[in-house]
Amino acid sequence: MKGLIGFLLLAIVTTLLWGLVGVLRGRPGSPRAVRALTLRIGLSLGLFCLLIAGMTLGWWAPHGL
């Protein structure tokens, strides 16, 4: 499970950088940056849902600081 979370975090950072490159190098009106940022939002929502589901199903518990 930790590997999946790490992979999702890496994918989120990668799409963020891909969106930055799309903004800096893209032509005006190019959908590259929009697609990258839309994918990043989807990955972030998926990670959030995975964390909430994992906590609800007892896969991990908050450590209670």
Query: What is the pLDDT, as a whole number, of residue 33?
Result: 82
| Predicted TM-score (pTM) above 0.85 | no
Query: What is the pLDDT, as a whole number, of residue 65?
Result: 67
Question: How close are the terminal C-alpha atoms of the chain, in Å?
Answer: 22
Average pLDDT of the residues in 50-62? 86
Question: Which tens digit of pLDDT belongs to each residue from 1-54?
Answer: 788 889 999 999 999 999 888 888 878 777 888 888 899 999 999 999 999 998
Identify the residue with better confidence: 39 or 64: 39
Distance in angstroms (rounded) separating the CA atoms of residues 36 and 21: 10
Backbone angles phi and psi of 28, in degrees to 5: -60, 130
Residue 6 amino acid letter? G
Q: CB-based contacts of 60: which residues, under 8 Å, 6+ apart? A: 1, 54
